[in-house]
Amino acid sequence: MIIRSRAPLRISFGGGGTEIDPYRTNHGGEVLSTTISLYAYSTILDSPNSNSVTFKASDLSIVETYKIKELFSKKNILKRSKLAIHVALYIEVIKDLGNSFNKAIEIITFCDAPPGSGLGSSSTLTVAMIQAYNRKYNLNLNNDEIAQKAFYVERIILGLKGGQQDQYAASFGGFNHLFF
């Protein structure tokens, strides 16, 4: 089975940075943004190898394959990976599923904008991957839950700096006036 998803990148008109702590916590944040016709894509395929998972960022020409047990037993795996968001998200989703699901998969991603473009590409990519997992494993996550999970993986698990507007814009799409 092949699962595909995409999420739109965004541009911000105003308020960018107000959704970043400590400003957000102390004063609240407010952002005006819209998504554009550039996307991050995610594809999930069942892996031919029942003991491994492969992460491919085709736009970056990076491929990493891990034994499934290795992903759940080694603590420093995220620090070594060039695809830490892919790996952290896989671990987060799979650990909540239990043992009744096929964990041997290939995750292929591509983004129309390069990292550091200012369009929220990494968060949009995270949202696209969560949407694919949502479909593959019938997680029944709504747009708000998808945005929250993307924020959690990026900001809490991985400690990446940034705010929340990117995850919400990518998850909901369209023109957004967001309050934090």
Q: Are 9 and 39 in contact (CB under 8 A)?
A: yes
Residue 21 a catalytic site member = no
Write down how long the chain is: 180
Q: Give CA–CA dist 155/150, Å, rounded.
A: 8
160 CB burial (10 A radius; 0-12, 13-18, 19+): middle
Q: Give CA–CA dist 94/26, Å, rounded.
A: 35
CA atoms within 13 A on the CB side of 150: 34
State the virtual CA torsion across 7, 10, 15, 19 in degrees, nearest 10: 30
Listed in sequence order, the residues at least 6 apart from 6 whose beta carbon sits closer than 8 Å to its beta carbon are 39, 40, 41, 42, 128, 131
Task: Return the structure tokens found at 82.
Answer: 């060039």
Residues tagged active-site: 166
